[in-house]
Structure 1
Amino acid sequence: MYDRILLPTDGGAPAEQALENALDLAEQYDAELHLLNVVDTTVFAGEVETGPVVEQFEQTGTTTVETLVEAVRERGHDRVVGDVVHGRPHTGILSYVEKNDIDLIVMGTRGRTGLDRYLLGSVTEKVVRLSDVPVLTVRHKSE
């Protein structure tokens, strides 16, 4: 049913909780698990020198993905791919899905409502609305 499962991650707790679900499904279906970090380069003004900042974000994303890839392999699932791309988070995710023939997206969500969600937006919500493949959302359980 699922050959390639994508978990977009920013290294936060919601993505960490979603990883458990993604890994369970990958093991159940013997699917390749893709771990993706999108470096949001659209938040910077056009005239500002962003090279060092973007490099830092990319390094943080790379470290996050490499750490998760290693954790997945330690759990015995060798079919894992890690990647870091640039762009708007939701468009980066959807583009990755198309380019890599992803069958399922598993995403964490903070469960924001009201004004917080309106002001901050929701990458997960945008992906759910625009994705051509199924999206499993995992709500973050705060301590």
Structure 2
Amino acid sequence: MYQDVLVPTDGSDGTRRSIAHGLTIADRFDATIHAVSIVPEGPLGTLQSDRAAPAAHRAVEYVEVEASRAGIESTTAVEHGVPHEVILAYIDAHDIDMVVMGTQGRTGLDRVLVGSVTERVVRMADIPVVTVRMTEEIQVDDADDAEQIARDEAEQAGYDAVSVREAPHRTSGAWLVHLERDGDDLAVSIDAVTGEASIADERYGTDG
């Protein structure tokens, strides 16, 4: 029934549950999960900072890691443009069967804009759009705590003498911590709500 499921993500905590729902649906129907993050242009362009593009890449990277861990085929894209227009164009270009979107994005003005994007996609899309609201409370909200959890997870998995390759960053209600050992990169994903951690290798294959 569903072969291609799209999850738009801005990397905010509010997209955590929509990504989880999208992955569950993709797994149930053996579908491909598509993750797209949009760097707004046009009327919204003045609201963006130099961090917008890197944040967008991190947002889709998180979905790629989680999909690989679950054994789900994924494809990712970072686009520029008016968010709802880009999403609708992506739906048509990739024959998307379902969209799963969060109703709560970043705080402040961005949060209002994300809600507006979802509302427009719901009105204008010709395919089912599932909207998901985040209700869980973030527990792991400190980068140092995330780094320690990642180190502990690596040690329990048999990886010792690891170093941090880059500073931990939080995206979509989770932390991504890149560790390094003897030239090998370990991507550790930590659920910011539960504190649960999992390890993927450099190409996001599972460790076990």
Counterpart pick for 2:100 among 98, 106, 116: 106
5+ long unaligned stretches in structure 2: 138-208
Distance 2:23 2:66 in 1: 11
Shift of 1:67: 2.4
Percent identity of equivalent pairs: 37
Distance 1:44 1:85 in 2: 13
Cross-structure match for 1:16: 16
Cross-structure match for 2:39: 39
Cross-structure match for 2:91: 97
Shift of 1:90: 0.6
- Partner SS state of residue 37, structure 1: strand
Bigger radius of gyration among the two = 2
Distance 2:31 2:135 in 1: 26
Shift of 1:140: 1.8
Matching residue's letter, 2:2: Y
Higher normalized helix content (fraction of residues): 1
Distance 1:44 1:25 in 2: 33
Q: Where in structure 2 are the equivalents of 1:56-95 lying within 5 Å?
A: 56-77=51-72, 79-95=73-89
Give the TM-score, by structure 1 length: 0.81
Q: Deviations over 1:65-101 (max 9, x none)?
A: 1122012201222x10111111111111001000000
Q: CA 1:44 to 1:19, structure 2 compared with 1: closer, same or farther past 3 Å?
A: closer
Distance 2:121 2:100 in 1: 10
Higher normalized strand content (fraction of residues): 2
Give the count of matched residue pairs: 129
Q: Deviations over 1:14-62 (max 9, x none)?
A: 21111111111100100000001011012236xxxx9xx46x3222211
- Partner SS state of residue 135, structure 2: coil
Give the TM-score, by structure 2 length: 0.57
5+ long unaligned stretches in structure 1: none
Range that drifts further, 120-129 or 87-96: 120-129
Q: Which has the higher contact order (CA 8 A, sep 6+)?
A: 1
Matching residue's letter, 1:41: E
Show structure 1 runs of 4+ deviating over 3 A: none
Distance 2:27 2:19 in 1: 12
Matching residue's letter, 1:44: G
